[in-house]
Structure 1
Amino acid sequence: MNTTGIAVIVYILWMVALLTVFLFVRVSALVKREVRTNNFRADGSDVSKFAERLARTHANCYESAPMVLGILLLALATDQIHVTNGLALYVVAARILQGLVHMLSTNAHMVRLRFVLFIAQIVIITLWSIQFLKIFMSNTF
Structure 2
Amino acid sequence: MTLSPTAIALLGLIAWGLLLALLILNQRGLLVLSGKMAVNAFAPDGSNLPGFGQRLARAHANCLENLPLQVGVLLYALQAGQTALTDPLALTLLSARLFQTVMHLLSTAPLFVWLRFAGFLVQVAILIWWLLRLSGLA
* Alignment equivalent of 1:97, drawn from 77, 99, 114: 99
Q: CA deviation at 1:45?
A: 2.0
Partner in structure 2 of residue 120 of structure 1: 122
Deviation at 1:9, TM superposition (A): 0.7
Which residue type is aligned with residue 96 of structure 1? L
**Secondary structure of the equivalent of 1:85?**
helix
Deviation track 1:84-116 (CA, whole Å, cap 9, x = no partner) reads: 000001101101110011011000000000111
What are structure 2's unaligned runs of at least 5 residues? none
Q: Give 1:62 shift.
A: 0.9
Q: 3-state SS of the aligned residue for 1:127?
A: helix
Q: Percent identity?
A: 36
Superposition misfits of 4+ residues, deviation over 4 angstroms: none
**Aligned residue number for residue 45 of structure 2:** 43
Q: What is the RMSD computed on CA atoms of the aligned residues?
A: 1.1
Report the TM-score when normalising by structure 2: 0.94
- How far apart, in 1, do the equivalents of 2:62 and 2:92 lie? 17
Q: Is 1:7 paired with 2:27?
A: no
Alpha-carbon separation, structure 1, partners of 2:120 and 2:88: 18
Partner in structure 1 of residue 136 of structure 2 = 134
Structure 1: which 5+ runs fail to align? 136-141
Which residue of structure 2 aligns with residue 31 of structure 1?
33
Task: Give 1:43 shift.
Answer: 1.1
Q: Distance in 2 between matches of 1:120 and 1:46?
A: 31
